[in-house]
């Protein structure tokens, strides 16, 4: 493992230079990995592993859209595409990549097909961390491991095809075989991770749920709504409000942050922008920190878990979700965004 200094804190990380795909192939030689679920992470991780030369099969409910999607991606019924039960029976490693709510629902079906010495792999610590609520309690004779890419399945696949990779966290919850860590790291490399950094199942889900509800999605969308609304309320046009709120961020500034960091982005903006950003940064931090503290508390004590399971497990969840997404999609902010995207050069 490489020791990397992250702003004064030294962490052990695993890179592809020290742990190449050839080493991963050697560790997983003779193993068959079954991908259970073909929704968000399933396609990316399975296709990346297949392209990297690992023995992979897919387990999915027959007859649905995701079954057809798997066929379209080249998985062959009866050869590399099976029912969930048959795929689990054929596998030595089971990657449990269904949604959190679906993992709770399918667990009684999957559990009898897991054999001693198998590895049960997750890309989210949710089901194990909140096992009292999910009922996902693996037997003691299984390796229980995690590789959690820090990006959507779409990004996992795109970055793999670009030759870069998404960074992933990894954890071992139970080592029943003495091989759990080797299996975990090999799978992390096999799915195309950029580098791997250690965590625990609990820390992964606490940080992940906080991040999704916070900076990555919830807070980002909320801040955009607020700024756009203030600009529109003060007479700015939709085009101007959208460009100042979203377009400049996504098409310019965030790319500078990605390239060399926030300070470099500040250094490459006007003096007026620099001064304003430096002055207002602490005010925004002070304003939102109590919200983040409340959010983290709700994640830690399981209230967010209950909210997820109660809502996503409902019979009419898909219909209610579409109503919420439709409201977002049809808001003036994102209708303006649709028009702005059409006006980009080359579109």
Judge residue 342's burial from the number of C-beta atoms within 10 Å of its C-beta, 0-12 exposed, 13-18 middle, 19 or more buried. Answer: exposed
In whole angstroms, what is the distance from residue 332 CA to residue 163 CA? Answer: 38
Both tokens assigned to 67: 């079954």
Both tokens assigned to 22: 């050839």
Helix axes 100-110, 303-312, angle to 10 degrees: 80
| 232 close to 327: Cβ distance less than 8 angstroms | no
- To the query of whether residue 124 is one of the catalytic residues in this protein, the response is yes
- Residue 158 CB partners (closer than 8 Å, separation 6+): none
Long-range interactions of 306-315: CB distance < 8 A, separation 24+:
306/133, 308/100, 308/101, 308/126, 309/100, 309/101, 309/104, 309/133, 309/134, 312/99, 312/100, 312/101, 313/101, 313/104, 313/105
If one counts every other C-beta atom within 10 angstroms of the C-beta of residue 189, the result is 28
Selected catalytic residue, list 124, 174, 213, 232: 124
| 101 close to 313: Cβ distance less than 8 angstroms | yes
Positions marked active-site: 124
């Amino acid at each position: 493992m490489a020791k990397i200094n992250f702003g004064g804190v030294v962490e052990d990380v695993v890179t592809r230079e020290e742990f190449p795909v050839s080493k991963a192939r050697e560790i997983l030689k003779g193993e068959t990995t079954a991908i259970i679920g073909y929704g968000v992470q399933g396609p990316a991780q399975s296709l990346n592993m297949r392209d990297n030369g690992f023995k992979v099969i897919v387990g999915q409910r027959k007859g649905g859209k995701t079954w057809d999607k798997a066929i379209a991606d080249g998985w062959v019924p009866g050869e590399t595409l099976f029912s969930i039960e048959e795929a689990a029976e054929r596998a030595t490693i089971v990657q449990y990549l269904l949604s959190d709510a679906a993992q709770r629902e399918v667990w009684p079906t999957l559990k009898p097909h897991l054999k001693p010495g198998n590895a049960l792999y997750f890309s989210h610590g949710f089901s194990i961390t909140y096992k009292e609520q999910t009922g996902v309690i693996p037997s003691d004779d299984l390796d229980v491991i995690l590789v959690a890419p820090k990006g959507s399945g779409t990004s996992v696949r795109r970055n793999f095809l670009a030759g870069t990779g998404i960074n992933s966290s990894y954890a071992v919850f139970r080592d029943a075989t003495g091989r759990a860590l080797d299996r975990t790291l090999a799978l992390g490399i096999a799915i195309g991770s950029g580098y791997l950094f250690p965590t625990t199942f609990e820390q992964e889900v606490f940080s992940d749920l906080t991040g999704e509800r916070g900076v990555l999605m919830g807070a980002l969308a909320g801040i955009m709504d607020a700024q756009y609304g203030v600009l529109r309320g003060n007479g700015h046009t939709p085009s101007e409000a959208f460009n100042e709120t979203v377009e400049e961020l996504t098409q310019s500034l965030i790319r500078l942050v990605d390239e060399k960091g926030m300070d470099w982005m500040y250094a490459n903006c006007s003096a007026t922008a620099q001064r304003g950003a430096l002055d207002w940064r602490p005010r925004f931090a002070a304003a939102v920190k109590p919200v983040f503290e409340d959010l983290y508390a709700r994640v830690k004590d399981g209230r967010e878990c209950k909210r997820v399971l109660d809502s996503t497990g409902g019979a009419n969840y898909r219909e209610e979700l579409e109503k919420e997404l439709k409201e977002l999609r049809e808001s003036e902010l994102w209708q303006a965004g649709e028009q702005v995207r059409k006006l980009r050069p080359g579109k």
